[in-house]
Amino acid sequence: MKPVFNAVVVFAISIASLSLGSVLLKIGMDRFGSLMDSGTPILQAILKSPQLPAGVVLMTLQFLGTLLLFKWGWDVSVVIPIMGLCYVGTALLGKWLLNEPVNSLRWFGIGLIVIGVFFVAHSVSKIKSP
């Protein structure tokens, strides 16, 4: 059985990776689209949008973290809802890095997600042995 601390670290890295990876994909696709609209060849546009591969790497890291949690015996009905905390990180990063408007209704919805994750996390009675 893996210590809970290890799982918490993997959850934190995975959630942060998915949040930042999503924002980097958005930044990269905006840049990529502008370059393509200006007539830049596709390969050159990809090379001039380093946020795209960086976002893919971070999202791959999140995927590997999810696989590791499953390998350690965590239930899918626990792992995926807890990964929902990426919505908090993505909203914060979107507001901070992309200057996106995040109104009170969105924050309320994100708050409901956090409450749901709290209940799911507290429903875990034990971690199964791999």
- 14 falls within a domain: yes
**Structural domain span for residue 82:** 4-122
Closest CA to 113 of 75, 83, 72, 77: 83
pTM of the model: 0.85
User: For the stretch 15-39, what's the b/e string if a residue is b when 16 or more beta carbons lie within 10 angstroms of its beta carbon?
Assistant: bbbbbbbbbbbbbbeebbeebeeee
Q: Is the pLDDT of residue 28 over 60?
A: yes
For residue 1, is pLDDT > 50? Answer: no
With respect to residue 86, please indicate whether it lies within any of the assigned structural domains: yes
CB-based contact 31:98 (threshold 8 Å): no
Tally of domains in the chain? 1
Q: Is 127 a domain residue?
A: no
Structure-model confidence comparison of residues 130 and 114, the more confident one? 114
Is there a domain that residue 128 lies in?
Answer: no
Q: Residue 127 pLDDT > 60, yes or no?
A: no
Does pLDDT of 2 surpass 70? no
Instruction: Note whether 113 and 88 are within 8 A (CB).
Output: yes
**pLDDT value of position 124:** 78
